[in-house]
Structure 1
Amino acid sequence: MNATRMIKLASGALIALASVLAYAQSSEGDATTPAASAKSTKAENHALGKKVRAALTKTKDLHAENITVKAHGGTVSLDGTVPDASQIDLATTAAKGVAGVTSVENHLTIKEPGQ
């Protein structure tokens, strides 16, 4: 093998190696990394919780001031107190009506005003 051919082969190998290394470095911040994925999931949960909270406050005859909302992967948890039993059903129905909600865990209790 002559020297010119060996230099061309070595140069080609170095270029290929440099390309692979550059690709590996550029994909380190990719959205598929666990940290980015966890951040995205947290943001989605937060956004879903806000949508449910908005639906609760817009629901006629529902007193949502003492209701807290937590979302985790489509499951929404409602905690807190409402003034009467009918409010529990109103809150559940409102939460289930929000796009992205797959299930509702209702932990609301009744606390009459003034108690």
Structure 2
Amino acid sequence: MAGAHAQMVGSDAEPTTAVSGTADKKALKAANRKLQKTVMRSLSQTRGLDASNILVVARGAVVTLAGSVPKAEQVELAVSAARAVSGVTEVRNDLTIRPEGL
């Protein structure tokens, strides 16, 4: 009887793994979205930073900042603000400088 029970558990393992994989992907996407929102909130609350043209992308704990800021000093402000967010381990800077009015 113990053999039948072990076999039954083994037959359940594959579907559970497939469902678990899907659940893991959904959880990862949700975590990425949450981190993106948290970083964007931090950027928008940073004094001296115009975050209106910044796009935030999170993949795991790596955050990419893309888009533009009007002044060179704001690039470092954005990177520093993103690094300060809990859960961020790396910030990739793809920001460009685009003076206002252009």
* TM-score tier after normalising by the smaller chain length: 0.7 to 0.9
1:59 aligns with 2:46: yes
Deviations along 1:23-46, one digit per CA (max 9) or x if unpaired, are 965994579721111111111111
Q: Which runs of 4+ in 1 moved over 2 A?
A: 15-32
Q: Quote the offset at 1:55 in angstroms.
A: 0.2
TM-score normalised according to structure 2 size: 0.85
TM-score normalised according to structure 1 size: 0.76
- 3-state DSSP of counterpart to 1:56: helix
Higher relative contact order (CA 8 A, sep 6+): 2
Indicate the percent of aligned positions where both proteins have the same amino acid: 38
Matching residue of 2:73: 86
Query: Aligned equivalents of 1:24 and 1:102: distance in 2?
Result: 39
- 3-state DSSP of counterpart to 2:87: coil
Give the alignment's Cα RMSD to 1 decimal. Answer: 2.4
Q: How many equivalent residue pairs?
A: 102
- 3-state DSSP of counterpart to 2:23: helix
